[in-house]
Amino acid sequence: MDENGSKESNKLKIEEEESDLKVEVWKYIFGFVEMAVIKCAIELKIGDTIESNGGSMTLSELSSSLNSSPLLLHRVLRFLVHRGIFKEEKATQSYSQTPMSRLLTTTGPNSLAPIHLLESSPAMVAPWHYLSACLKANDHENESQPFELAHGMDLWSYASANPSHNKLVNEAMACFARVVILPAVLQRCGEIFDGVGSLVDVGGGNGTCLSILVKACPWIKGINFDLPHVVSGSQEYEGVQHVGGNMFDSIPKADAAFIMEVLHDWDDEECIKILKNVKEAIPKKTGKVIIVEVVIDENEKISQLSDIRLMMDMIMMAHTIKGKERTNVEWANVLQKAGFSHYTITPTTSIQSVIQAFP
């Protein structure tokens, strides 16, 4: 190949690479579309309707059942079929469920829909528009958070003042416990509950998490501890006592404490304060705290799980008061300063790990 041919070949290669990069950037530009369309499908109950009608429906049947425009519904389904969320039989123009769509029904036992409805709600989307302003404004003395900039109050105050949003939060956290975390925790680390007579779930929400633990480990007497407005509307569970209070003041005494997806909501100083109160609530010689949280490994190879862990860290930045996902070193720092002598970290099949800390 002569010099001119080589230059032309290199030029074409550069143009192809640039074209591929533009496609990737387009995906980021329109990334919100997937969240919005999936939310639409959940709200319309497309998956639930198909499931309750024998697992397959034509476009005409589905649009009639949903009382929706067949032309618009077709376009939504085409988008979702392209992503493998539903399956289309072109010969009959019928649609059926897939394993993924079953995870997005509103009634399925493994549904992740409550988490999606929370994260895509207007209240949770609004703070993302303030992320850059938050980074510019923070001078470590007068810090502000995106959620507060969007709503004039923190997430917990907002939930307390808005019952509908509080319901979304509680349902999402219960879903997180039921579907994502507890199966991985119980399957991988179930033995950590052996010999635990009483267990206080710190920030346990509506008690779903603790009720699952107590059902799996019936020898445990459970204490579900959270803010009064959170536990006031909680249903009764066998073996679980609901207690309202503030974890920054004191925590009910028990053989062991369980904290799931709570400490990442707070900065190091507040985490240490919570953990010190936890340490006071458990026996000095035999007590332990079981923490279920993300542990970020900055040297980990890129994977879907590592990507989601980093996404979770961005969510903490947008939605909490100085919250963050922590590395192993950062966990060691807060646990040591809270007075715990040693700890262990066990990965699970989910994005979280199980941290056991001992006085």
List the catalytic residues.
264, 293, 325
Of residues 39, 58, 45, the one with CA closest to residue 96: 58
Joined tokens for residue 282: 């458990």
CB atoms within 10 A of CB 121: 16
Going along the chain, which residue ranges are E strands? 56-58, 86-89, 94-97, 198-202, 221-226, 240-244, 256-260, 288-293, 295-296, 326-327, 342-347, 353-358
List residues bridging with 347 in a β-sheet.
Answer: 353
Q: Are 211 and 237 in contact (CB under 8 A)?
A: yes
Inter-residue contact 93 to 99 (CB < 8 Å):
no
On whether the CB atoms of residues 45 and 106 are closer than 8 A, the answer is yes
Radius of gyration of the chain (CA): 24
DSSP state of 107: S
Contacts of 138 (CB under 8 A, 6+ apart): 144
Encoded tokens for 83: 């992503």
Which structure tokens are listed for 117? 């409805």
Residue 26's region, left for phi above 0, alpha for psi from -120 to 50, else beta, is alpha
Q: How far apart are CA 119 and CA 312, in angstroms?
A: 11
Which residues are CB-contacts of 239 (< 8 A; sequence separation ≥ 6)?
Answer: 211, 214, 215, 218, 220, 221, 222
> In three state form, how does the secondary structure of 153-210 look?
CCHHHHHHHCHHHHHHHHHHHHHHHHHHHHHHHHHHHHHHHCCCCEEEEECCCCCHHH
